[in-house]
Structure 1
């Protein structure tokens, strides 16, 4: 009976040693590959959900323009490009980056920079 338990625990130990590297590789891949990608996907979804009329947008195709209208019903927006006011309709998933429209902050920032004296070394 003692030999039977020893043989059984020996086979369990050898099974564990056999599958341990595979388990460690799967855990390593999850931590290194999937978690950062999931975080990036959440950031991208938040960025796409935060677009407003007037924001400057770059699409994944490289089209740059301002958001002229947003249609929440079918998840699209109208992008106004060039000075000729050419309007193109895109899906929200086509947004690569968003630059928020700052109406009042730009003049405040430039005035604050002019008021602060420059340090001399």
Structure 2
């Protein structure tokens, strides 16, 4: 009986470590991104997951119209294609460079 329990302790320990090092941080990151996408508003400057910078002109359910470039080209994208807010990226870069 004790040998069976000791045979389970190591795999369960690995599962716990795997959960706390990989799964939990990933879920936290996904939740933060979901909240950011749900809180978007007209006028926000965004960066798409493809690296395109733009300003939100119109929000409609899961579809967003953004304005990009000097000639103010309009693109229609889905909400899940928003990677980040441009203001957050600039503030992260500023804080990273000041820490050096």
TM range (shorter): 0.7 to 0.9
The structure that has the greater radius of gyration is 1
Give RMSD over aligned pairs: 1.1
Which residue in the other structure is 1:62 paired with? Answer: 51
TM-score normalized by structure 1? 0.68
Counterpart of 1:96? 83
TM-score by length of 2: 0.82
Which aligned pairs between 1:11-90 and structure 2 lie closer than 5 A? 12-72=1-61, 75-90=62-77
Shift in Å, 1:99: 3.9
Q: Please state which structure has a larger fraction of its residues in strand.
A: 2
Gaps of 5+ in 2: 88-100
Question: Unaligned regions of 5+ residues in structure 1, if any?
Answer: 1-11, 101-121
Q: Is the partner of 2:17 in helix, strand or coil?
A: helix
**Runs of 4+ displaced beyond 2 Å:** none
Task: Count residues in correspondence.
Answer: 87
